[in-house]
Amino acid sequence: MNDMLLLSATELGQKIKPGEISPVEAVDACLARIEATEPNLNAYVRVLADEARAAANQAEQEIAAGQWKDPLHGVPVALKDLYDLAGVPTTASSRVRESWTPDADSAAAERLKAAGAIVLGKTHTHEFACGIVTPTTRNPWDTERTPGGSSGGSGAKVVSAGAFMAMGSDTGGSIRIPAGLCGTVGLKPTFGRVSRAGITSLSWGLYHAGPLTRTVEDAATCVQVLAGYDPRDPGSVDEPVPDYSAGLRDGIKGLRVGVPSNYFFDQLDEEVEAAVRKAYEQLESLGAELVDVALPMPEQLGAVEFAILLPEASDYHCQMLRDGAHLYNDDVRVMVEAGEFVPATTYTRAQRVRNLLQQEFRKLYGTVDVIVAPTVAASAVTAGTESITWPDGSEEPLISAYTRFAVPGNVTGLPCLSVPCGFSSEGLPIGFQAIGRPLDEATFLRLGAAY
């Protein structure tokens, strides 16, 4: 493998700016790596080799002419196949949409391209983002195992050096789950911080757009480009965007880190728990103050998530189901059909409880600055596994085991950052997530960078 591919996106950008590395060289290295790894991983829906080379040539000329734009100028990136790219099909990894081609870029693609980033292609998602395993794709650490989902293609490609960073989306953990299982950094910003315009929706009230990256610094660099108000997204927040890199290396002395006393440690793999608790010790050694916190209304979290997600997904898919239900994969079809049986009273009640949860969670931040917890309850399972058996003999459906720790961030809309923190005895990645105050991504980016 070309040593260039071991650089982070930020490091690559720092070498591209003075001309030490050419964007053309970076794109060619990625394309060669994609060709070598795709037979085993199947992470890309579509590779845009010609378009990427043309963009790389343009970036090289711009930088040589003194028209450098941004730290991502000339850096190859990938988009989850929910993100519109003008003239390129957005399939959502589904036969339902295999021929649908947008005529405009999504807001995220637009911002990345304006910053000079080069789009290599579209990565696989669990069909319409309705799942947590990305069936088409395998985990780079063990190709018998799932990369997680729904942004599994993006996680697999960042880890296997088929892109320097990749975009994902998160409705019930779909950025953080593959980040945790593949060993990347995954950033789910505050709801409304990054525009979702031009992204295929799973549940408009819950989903977030964000990056999967190799380092926390890369995540800060990327969200700096993506963040900001967009009137095309009705959920977009019109608030100033800070400089996320400004305090990244300031350390965490005195930072109050919440350690959950319930919910996150109620049922999980012993090796995951050990790795996260070791991370607490490391954070404390770096100057953080550990504070026990109890999550409010834990029994409501899963119920609220799915009482909102299912009917919103069904609403989005209503006409497509009637026109071509046979084109859906069975698991996704059943899921989006099920939402039609959720009464409006249940949906509105879930929204009211969600408001209460948001209020209660925000009260926690009177005593802590950030909450740190496991990202996923177990490491990557063998592809096709449908449930997990815990040490006490109980069995849990995989979708519950993988989404359970992600749901608080989606229901509340709070920003979350998943960071690798170790490996299982089988050599599989483990991660922790930092959950921050609304619009306070800067604090947990500082924590992640210090760790």
Q: Catalytic site residues?
A: 80, 150, 174
Distance CA 273, CA 295 (A): 17
Distance CA 139, CA 284 (A): 32
- 3 state DSSP class of 268: coil
Listed in sequence order, the residues at least 6 apart from 28 whose beta carbon sits closer than 8 Å to its beta carbon are 53
Q: What is the CA radius of gyration of the chain?
A: 20
Distance CA 285, CA 299 (A): 33
β-pairing verdict for 76-80 and 208-213: unpaired
Distance CA 108, CA 105 (A): 8
Pick from 387, 443, 394, 435: nearest CA to 415 = 435
**Residue 329: both structure tokens together:** 């994969």
Distance CA 176, CA 368 (A): 22
Pick from 324, 327, 341, 264: nearest CA to 298 = 264
119 forms beta bridges with 77
Residue 85, judged by CB atoms within 10 A of its CB (0-12, 13-18, 19+), counts as buried
Q: Which residue has the tokens 């800070």?
A: 242
Pick from 262, 284, 435, 288: nearest CA to 365 = 435
Residue 243 dihedral angles phi and psi, to the nearest 5° = -85, 105
Distance CA 336, CA 201 (A): 12
Do residues 183 and 140 lie in contact, with contact meaning Cβ atoms separated by under 8 Å? no
CB count in 10 Å sphere of residue 363: 9
Distance CA 356, CA 335 (A): 27
Do residues 398 and 387 lie in contact, with contact meaning Cβ atoms separated by under 8 Å? yes
Residue type, 34: I
